[in-house]
Structure 1
C-alpha cells in the first residue's frame, strides 16, 4: 500500500516583503547562552574591566563592519539600522552600571553584564512609550554579541548556509539579517515581528520574500519540510501540492512580468494621460544612494536625510566633510533638485556626546530644529556646507519638525548669518537658494498659512504626521492596525496643507510612506501635491501609474474621498481607482 502524501497545511501571517519562493525550511532556534558565574579576586578586578572594555571595542568594530557592508550592498538607509546598535554600546548608563555591579558583587563580567542588560530590557518593556519598547530587540542583539565575545563564541552566520533554504525562526536579529546571502536565502518566516522590523527591512531591500507574525511556525516546522512562501498575501503553505506549486509558479512569473513592465517606464517623465506632470524624487541617506535612485527613475532628491552622515561618527563631522558629501550629491543629480533636510537628531536618532537618553517621550522632545536652534554654531556649520554645495547644483534647504512661525524665522536668521560668513570667505553659493519647512506636526499643519510667508516650499512628512494625529506608533504590533493613512483626519489634514500651499503659490511635496504607496499617490496628486518622494524601489510602478491615469480623474477621486467618513470606504475607493488604472497589467493575476 502506497504511503499517503503529506497533507497541505496553510498558515496565515503578515505580508512583509513581496515575492514567491519555495524550498526546504531551515529552522534556526535562538538558544539561551549559558553564562558562568564565579567570584573575581580583588586584584583581578582591573583585568576584568579591561576584558569588558575590549569586548565593547570588538563589538563596536564588528557592528561598524556590518554597517559598512550593508551600506555597500543595500545603501545608507538600510545601514542606519546599526547606528542604534552602536548607540547601545556607547550607553553610559549601561556601561557604568555594569562596572558598579562588578565592584559590588565581585562576580565575573559576563554575569554582571547579563544581569544589567536584563534589567534594562525589563525596564524598556515596562515603558508606556511604544517606540522605546521596540528598542528591546536592539539591546538584546547587542547584549548577545558582547556576551558571545566575552565567552569566546561566534554569532550565528546565515552566510554559512550550504544550500538554498527558507529561513524559519522565532525572530531574526538585525545582525543575522545583515548576513543574508541572497543566493542562499530564498525567503524569511518569523513567529513575531512586523512589516517594519529590521529583518523585514533587510529582506525587502534584497528582494527576498518574507512573512512575519506566524506565532509558532518555528515549532511546527522541521528542516525536512518543504514550504512555499507568498510574500504578497502573507501566506505560508507547508507540503504544497503540485497543483499549488504550479499555480504559484504562474503567479511568480506574472509578477515578474509586471515588474518589467513597470521598469519600462522608469526613465520616462511622470506625465498623466491628460498632460500634467508630477515631480518624482527619491529619499536618500547619502551619496551612495544616488546611482540606484537615478536608475529607478528619480528626477531629483526630495529628501536627503543628512543625519546619516552625523551618525557615522563619534562626534559631529566638520563643515568640510559635510560639504564634500553634499557637493557629491548635488553634482551627481544636477540640474535636478536636491532637498537637504537639516539635522534631525533626537527621537530615535542620537549622538551620544550630545544626548542623554532620559526623555520620557523623545519623539516630542528635544530634537530636530529645536536641537539646531540651541546649538547654533553646529547648525551654521551645516548651513554653510549646504550653501557651498548649492554653487554646483540645484540645492534646497528644508527644516524638520517646524512647529511655530518663530522657529522658522529663527532658522532663517541663522541662514542669513551663514550666508554672510560665506561671503566674507569668498565662498560661492546660490544667492536665491530656496528654503522649505517640513510639515509633520499637527500644529504646523493648521498654521501653515503663517509658515508660508517665510519659506518657498513645504514637504509633508506623513509618517510622523499620522502618528501625532492618531496617537499611534506604527511599529507597535498591538496597535499597528490603528495606523491608518486612510483615516478621515489624515486626509483632511493633508488637504488643508496642500490647499494652503497652492493658495500661497508655493511648491508642496510629500516624502513620507504615503508617497511610496502607489494606492495613495493618485489621491495626493488629486489633492494638489506637486511632488512625491519615495524610496527608489517603488518609483517605476509610480511612474507607470501616473502615465496611465488622468489628473482630472485623480481630482474627482480626491473630492469623493474627502466626503467619506469611513476609513474602510476610503481605502476601498483608493484601491479600486488603482486597480482600474492598472487593469492592463493586473488583470493576469486577478
Structure 2
C-alpha cells in the first residue's frame, strides 16, 4: 500500500480500478510536408469539425451542469476562432512546413505556458482550456488519437495527464467513479465541472503520477487530496465507512436550503456567493445563497478584445440583478493590473506590479474608463438591489474622489433623463494594511467594508502568494492577519456599517466562529461552499 499526495479538487471518495487514458503528447510526431495548402485545408476541416462537436457538447452540458458551467464550451469556440490563436497554428504550418497535428500541439503548448505563468489563479486555470482546444483539433486531424473516456466498459477511476473540460462534461457518471490527473489546479474548469457534477477528483500529482498502471486498485480521497495505491483490507474497510458518511453529509446539506445562517444564540450571518460571470448566477441560486457578495467585473474586460462598452456592461449587470430577484448584488469595479492584464489597456511594464498601477489606481488615472463602468452600473441599479465596491483602497482621498465621480455620473444621467436607483450602497475592499490602520476614518465615508483576505494576507505577511518557494508562509490564520480583520470589524461596528469577508478564508470553517465573535456580518464564498458554511454557522453557540 502506498499513499500519494495531490490536490483535492472535488470532494468525495471513490474506490475502484484505474483506467489510464491515452496521452496525446506521447504520440505527436513532427513531419515535414511539401503541400502547405493541402495541410492548411486539413486544418480548416478539423477546425470546422471541432466547432460542430463543441456546439453539440454545449447542448449536452446545458442539460447536465446548467448554463453557468456550460458556457465554457462557447468560450472554447470563440478561442478556436480567435485570429491570434488559430492564425498562429497556420503560421507554424507555413513557416516551418510541418504537419497540422504538430503545429496545433506546439501552438497549444506555447499559449498554455503563457497562461500558466500568469499570477492570477483564474487565468492560470485557463491554461488547460487552450490545451483542450489544441487536443480537439489534433483528434479531428488524426482519429487514431481519439480519447476512450466515452467507451469505458465498467465503472472505473480515470487517470490522465490532464482532463480537459470537454472530456469531463462527457463523462458518464455511472462509469466514472473519480478522476486523478498529473497536472491541473483547483481553479481549472475541469475541477469546477467535477465539483458541479459530484465526481471526486485529485489533481496535480506531478511526478508521482508515474507510479500508476492500468488496472491498479486505488482509493481517491478528494477531500484530503490523497490517492491510495493497492490499499490493504483495513484501509478499504475504513474508507468504505468514510464514503458512506460523506454521501450522507451531502444529502443532509441539501436539507439546509431555505434556512438561514443563524447561530444557536440567534446571531444571523449573511452567506453570499462570489461570481465572475453573469452565467454563474444559476449556480448561486441552485445553492441558495443569500445574495452575491462579489461579482468580479474585471472578467468582462479580460474576456474581451477591447474595452467593453457601456451597453455591454449594462446588459451584464442588469442580467445579474434581475436574476437575483431583489437579493443584494455587490459588484466590484474593475480590478485589473498586477496579475490581471489585458493587452488593450496598454499598461507600462512594472518590476513589482502587485504594488503598482492596478485596480482603483487605474480607474482614477483613466477616469474615462471608470466613468463608463459607473454609468453602466447606475443604469442597471433600477433592476435590483445593487451595491458597488471599490478595490485596493489606501486613503480617504481616494474614496472622496470616487464619490465625486459618482455624483458627476448621477448629474449626467439626470440631465439625459436616464433612470437610476437613488439608494444603492457604496463599499470598499479592505485588503491592505493601510486601509486597516485608517479603517475608522474610511468607515465614515462608506456603507460597508468587504475584507479581501487573499491580498490582505499577502501584504501583511510580505509573502507573495504565487511564489511556491514560500507558499508555506502564506497563512490567512496568522495572528497578524486575524488582528487586522478584528481591527477592521471594530471600526465598522463603531461607525454603524456592516462588514463582510470575500477572500478565500471566508470558506474556512475553522475560522467561522472567530468571525462571528468579532462581529463579521457577511461571508461570501464560492457557490458550492454556501451550504457547508451555513451549517457551520448554525452549529455555533456563543454562550
Please say whether Structure 1 and Structure 2 have the same fold, judged by a TM-score greater than 0.5. yes
Q: 2:374 is matched with which residue? A: 383
Q: 1:331 is matched with which residue? A: 322
Q: 1:302 is matched with which residue? A: 293
Partners in 1 of 2:347 and 2:53 — Cα distance? 24
Deviation, structure 1 residue 286: 4.2
Deviation, structure 1 residue 508: 0.9
Deviation, structure 1 residue 276: 1.8
* 3-state DSSP of counterpart to 2:8: strand
User: Are the counterparts in 2 of residues 168 and 217 from structure 1 also a CA contact under 8 Å?
Assistant: no
Please tell me whether residue 34 in structure 1 is matched to residue 28 in structure 2.
yes
User: Are the counterparts in 2 of residues 68 and 79 from structure 1 also a CA contact under 8 Å?
Assistant: no
Q: Structure 1 110/168 Cα, relative in aligned 2: closer, same or farther at 3 Å?
A: closer
Partners in 2 of 1:331 and 1:501 — Cα distance? 30
Q: Structure 1 351/255 Cα, relative in aligned 2: closer, same or farther at 3 Å?
A: same
Deviation, structure 1 residue 390: 2.2
Report how many aligned residue pairs link the two structures.
Answer: 540
Match of 2:13 among 6, 9, 20: 20
Deviation, structure 1 residue 377: 3.7
Q: 1:428 is matched with which residue? A: 419
Please tell me whether residue 489 in structure 1 is matched to residue 451 in structure 2.
no
Deviation, structure 1 residue 400: 2.3
Deviation, structure 1 residue 423: 1.2
* 3-state DSSP of counterpart to 1:533: strand
User: What are the within-5 Å matches in structure 2 for residues 155-304 of structure 1?
Assistant: 156=147, 158-174=149-165, 176-216=167-207, 218-240=209-231, 244-304=235-295
Partners in 2 of 1:59 and 1:249 — Cα distance? 41
Partners in 1 of 2:101 and 2:211 — Cα distance? 34
Deviation, structure 1 residue 493: 1.9
Partners in 2 of 1:262 and 1:453 — Cα distance? 39
Deviation, structure 1 residue 91: 8.9
Please tell me whether residue 544 in structure 1 is matched to residue 538 in structure 2.
no
Match of 1:502 among 476, 493, 518: 493
Q: 1:557 is matched with which residue? A: none
User: Are the counterparts in 1 of residues 155 and 177 from structure 2 also a CA contact under 8 Å?
Assistant: yes
**Structure 2 alignment gaps of length 5 or more:** none
Partners in 2 of 1:294 and 1:236 — Cα distance? 33
1:276-296 C-alpha deviation (Å, 9 max, x unpaired)? 221221223344433443443
User: Are the counterparts in 1 of residues 450 and 502 from structure 2 also a CA contact under 8 Å?
Assistant: yes
* 3-state DSSP of counterpart to 2:147: coil
1:493-552 C-alpha deviation (Å, 9 max, x unpaired)? 212222222222222111111112222221222222111111222222222222222345
Partners in 2 of 1:422 and 1:483 — Cα distance? 45
**Structure 1 alignment gaps of length 5 or more:** 1-7, 553-590
1:342-371 C-alpha deviation (Å, 9 max, x unpaired)? 223444545454457966555444443334
Deviation, structure 1 residue 195: 4.2
Deviation, structure 1 residue 271: 1.9
Match of 2:442 among 451, 476, 487: 451
Partners in 2 of 1:305 and 1:487 — Cα distance? 26
1:458-492 C-alpha deviation (Å, 9 max, x unpaired)? 11111232233335455665544333111122212
Q: 1:575 is matched with which residue? A: none
